[in-house]
Amino acid sequence: MKAILPVAGMGTRLRPLTHTTPKALVHVAGKPILGHILDALIPLGIDEVVLIVGHLGEQIEQYVRSTYPVRVRCVEQPERLGLGHAVLLAQEAFGCEDEPVLIVLGDTIFSADLRSVLAAKGSAIGVHEVEDPTRFGVVELEGTRIRRLVEKPAEPPSNLAIVGVYYLASSRRLFAALQQIIERDIKLKGEYQLTDALQLLIEQGEEMTTFPVLDWLDCGNPETLLESNRLLLDKQKGNGQLPSAEDCIIIPPVSIAPSARIVQSIVGPYVSIAEGVEVRQCIIRNSIVNREAHVTNVLLSDSIIGERAAVGGTYAQVNVGDSSDIRVAG
């Protein structure tokens, strides 16, 4: 079965990181965001991944090809015209076949019982209960069947938000609906939306149900990325292996790549350190350090350090008299 992964976005909310690293490859809890997604999909029997790429797409293609034993097809989205447009571009990977298809957004880590969804064979959309549905696309249900999909409703018909995981029973019907959306030029905020095509499918009689997405970890902005890092590390309970940590205190949960070098530092809790990173004489908590970054002599909290970045600090030098009150700024 094929999975379509749209990863052509600019990732503007994660800048400056995403100027040079595509959002899908940003490190969280031990591996790139896309790694978490593919680790969940491949055991389901997904044998071909259709990546819709744009900004820095060659890095994503290279990562998937070198890490996963699946067929990979890359389709370029030359202009960011919306998720609906991105998914329609995958049509060339399907030829004249009509087959079921899974669509997963490239920046959403999730956990769901997809095995049951695939076995049931009917079209279904992943939903997650949220407190404030007015900020999301939401489903309106009639029994177990979806009657309507509503974008950011002022008066929400349910608290079930659409999270970015979709199973469609027929690729042919999906692409036909997307085609119609584009021919009729139906846009929201200047973009062709996947939701509009799914709504059209429902109006054309497609039976669509929902399935629960238990963990929904958005990685789209720095705050949610760090929050997702914390939740994933809590689940993993840290990898506990510290091959080259010299004179260090490690406070779990953490994820430290075997090739990272940690010297005379206190690391954790909730720290992810990627391959080739060097940390010397630092205190780091609740942070993500991407590949080959060098961090020296600093206290870091709630921070994200990009690949190959160098962050250095200094030790304060003071000569302080009795009963003084000195605060050294970080």
- Judged by CB under 6 A, the stretch of 77-85, 181-189, 258-266, 296-304 that binds ligand UTP is 77-85
Q: Shortest gap between Cβ of 106 and ligand UTP (angstroms)?
A: 4
Minimum CB distance to ligand UTP, residue 77 (Å): 5
Q: Are strands 160-168 and 101-104 parallel, antiparallel or unpaired?
A: antiparallel
The reply to whether 238 sits near ligand UTP by the rule CB under 6 A is no
Binding residues among 161-220 for ligand UTP as defined by CB under 6 A: 220
| Ramachandran angles phi, psi of 117, nearest 5° | -65, -45
Q: Which residue's entry shows tokens 């009150």?
A: 325
Distance in angstroms (rounded) separating the CA atoms of residues 289 and 281:
15
Angle between helices 194-203 and 171-183 (to 10 degrees): 110
Q: How far apart, in whole angstroms, are the C-alpha atoms of residue 104 and residue 222?
A: 21
Q: Is 32 in the site for ligand UTP (CB under 6 A)?
A: no
Give the shortest CB-12-to-ligand UTP separation in angstroms: 3
Does residue 294 touch ligand UTP according to CB under 6 A? no
Q: How many of the other CB atoms lie within 10 Å of CB of 135?
A: 12
3-class state of residue 260 by DSSP: coil
Q: According to the binding rule CB under 6 A, does residue 8 interact with ligand UTP? A: yes
Beta strand pairing status for 266-267 and 283-285?
Answer: parallel
**Among 3, 17, 64, 86, interactor with ligand UTP by CB under 6 A:** 86
Task: Please select the residue that binds ligand UTP; options are 10, 70, 188, 251, rule is CB under 6 A.
Answer: 10
In the complex, the smallest distance separating the C-beta of residue 155 from ligand UTP, rounded to whole angstroms, is: 24
The DSSP H or E segment spanning 161 is strand 160-168
Q: Does 133 bind ligand UTP (CB under 6 A)?
A: no
By CB under 6 A, name the binding residues for ligand UTP. 6-13, 23, 52, 77, 80-83, 85-86, 105-107, 220
